[in-house]
């Protein structure tokens, strides 16, 4: 924990402090920010208040009195709830404080403090604001090593993506057709061979109407073969299997033939242009040093797709934060599922992945962007411009 930097951020935001609390390991953010061991017993409530200036305060239960010993500050012990309330009131009375809270649950990954605790803190006259911007700054930004690991993962994922489509192409030419499941398992084997991990969820390999389901799950018990004139979408993500590994997440579309249907080509062209629009908007704002927020990018992309008549078929956000988890804790590119009002800042990595899902057709194009510390908006690897033709 960098106490001095946290206090500088609190002072710059005109806040009195940041209140952390937990019970039974509910708030992973607190443990990450404070560098606490999440495996130690936490059967009683603890609170940790970092003021904008001065020494922090620890409030811990007597039977777990050493729970916050790794942190700086004065320790207050309690046993009864009455004492806990008294001590909390003394520490935060009438203060304006940040907590892991999001008004209207706009950012669910941040909104971790339960309603009862919010009621309790407000009963002491404290005003609560969201810690979302602080969490993004301290947890979502990538350092140089992490950016390099993202780039390395990208090189491997792009190579494996090419190999997967080549395997499908060969199977079509030889008329020895592969199933969605076989291609998915090929990708997983290649991930393992390259020391990559994709976490708990396997890549999406979706043929024809399956691609109209954005989170289609391949079913080994109901194999679907990839044959001539089929439409194919592959969404794959992975990171190097090491402590600071960062995910790389892309989606490409292909046609199992030489002459894709006009509607398929048209829909794919629309999402490609929407993707380019998003990247250009972010690049322009950083070039002119103007702020840009996650919801703004989504709104621009959604407007473009809606203008072409397919807004109702774009049923998910434009992109998500990327880090050590494929869905990270930074700003999402979203004004549909939530209104993400966090500013895009240097060090962030996120996907741009507009899609149109008009059964039986589904298309999506996905790239990853990261914002370097000089304000450059960067991507790793080729960006799909037209449908891949597999014959």
User: So where are the chain's domains?
Assistant: 3-139, 141-389
pLDDT above 70 as % of the chain: 100
- Let me know if 242 is exposed, middle or buried by CB neighbors in 10 A (0-12, 13-18, 19+): exposed
Give the HSE-up count for residue 154: Cα atoms under 13 Å, Cβ half-sphere. Answer: 23
CA 335 to chain centre: 15
CATH code for the domain defined by 3-139: 3.40.350.10
Q: Compute CA 178 distance to the chain's CA centroid, rounded to the nearest angstrom.
A: 32
Mapped onto helix, strand or coil, the DSSP state of residue 352 is strand
Q: Which CATH number fits domain 141-389: 3.30.559.10, 3.30.830.10, 3.65.10.10, 3.90.230.10?
A: 3.90.230.10
244 pLDDT band, cuts 50/70/90, is very high
Residues 69, 131: Cα–Cα separation, whole Å: 24
Q: Helical H runs in the chain?
A: 3-12, 28-34, 81-92, 115-123, 132-135, 144-174, 180-193, 262-287, 294-307
pLDDT of res. 223:
86
Structure confidence at residue 1 (pLDDT): 83
Separation of alpha carbons 19 and 92, rounded Å? 9
**pLDDT, tens digit (0-9, with 9 covering 90-100), for 334-370:** 999 999 999 999 999 999 999 999 999 999 999 999 9
Fill in the DSSP letter of residue 210: G
Nearest to 267 by CA among 333, 314, 230: 314
Question: How high does pLDDT run on average in the chain?
Answer: 96
pLDDT tens digit string along 55-91?
999 999 999 999 999 999 999 999 999 999 999 999 9
- Digit-coded pLDDT (tens) for 8-23: 999 999 999 999 999 9
Q: What is the pLDDT of residues 277-315, one digit of tens each?
A: 999 999 999 999 999 999 999 999 999 999 999 999 999
CA distance 99 to 273: 39
- Using the predicted structure, report yes or no on whether residue 328 has a pLDDT greater than 90: yes
d(CA 375, CA 291): 11
Which pLDDT tens digit goes with each residue over 16-50? 999 999 999 999 999 999 999 988 999 999 999 99
- Average of pLDDT values for 237-252? 97
Residue with tokens 């809270």: 101
Q: State residue 68's pLDDT score.
A: 96
């Amino acid at each position: 924990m960098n106490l001095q930097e946290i206090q500088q951020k609190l002072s710059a935001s005109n806040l009195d402090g940041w209140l952390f609390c937990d019970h039974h390991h509910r708030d992973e953010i607190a443990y990450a920010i404070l560098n606490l061991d999440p495996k130690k017993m936490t059967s009683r409530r603890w609170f940790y208040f970092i003021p904008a200036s001065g020494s922090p305060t620890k409030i811990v239960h007597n039977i777990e009195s050493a729970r916050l010993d790794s942190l700086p500050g004065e320790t207050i012990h309690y046993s009864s709830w009455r004492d806990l309330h008294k001590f909390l009131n003394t520490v935060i009375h009438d203060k304006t404080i940040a907590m892991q809270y999001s008004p209207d649950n706009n950012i669910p990954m941040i909104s971790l403090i339960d309603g009862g605790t919010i009621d309790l803190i407000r009963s002491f006259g404290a005003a609560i604001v969201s810690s979302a911007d602080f969490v993004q700054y301290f947890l979502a930004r990538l350092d140089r090593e992490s950016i390099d690991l993202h780039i390395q993962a990208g090189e491997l994922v792009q190579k494996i993506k090419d190999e997967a489509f080549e395997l499908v192409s060969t199977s079509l030419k030889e008329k020895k057709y592969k199933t969605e499941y076989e291609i998915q398992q090929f990708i997983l084997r290649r991930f393992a061979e390259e020391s990559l991990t994709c976490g708990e969820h396997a890549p999406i390999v979706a043929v024809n109407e399956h691609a109209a389901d954005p989170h289609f799950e391949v079913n080994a018990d109901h194999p679907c073969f990839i044959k001539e004139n089929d439409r194919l979408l592959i969404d794959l993500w992975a990171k190097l299997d090491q402590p600071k590994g960062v995910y790389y997440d892309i989606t490409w579309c292909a046609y199992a033939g030489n002459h894709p249907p006009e509607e398929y080509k048209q829909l794919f062209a629309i999402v490609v242009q929407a993707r380019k629009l998003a990247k250009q908007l972010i690049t322009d704002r950083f070039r002119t040093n103007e702020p840009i927020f996650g919801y703004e990018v989504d709104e621009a992309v959604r407007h473009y797709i809606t203008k072409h008549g397919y807004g109702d078929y774009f049923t998910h956000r434009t992109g998500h934060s990327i880090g050590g988890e494929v869905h990270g804790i930074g700003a999402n590119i979203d004004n549909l599922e939530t209104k993400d009002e966090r500013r895009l800042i240097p060090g962030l990595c996120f996907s741009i992945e507009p899609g149109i899902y008009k059964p039986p057709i589904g298309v999506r194009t996905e790239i990853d962007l990261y914002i370097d510390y000089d304000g450059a908006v960067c991507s790793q690897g080729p960006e799909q411009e037209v449908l891949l033709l597999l014959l």
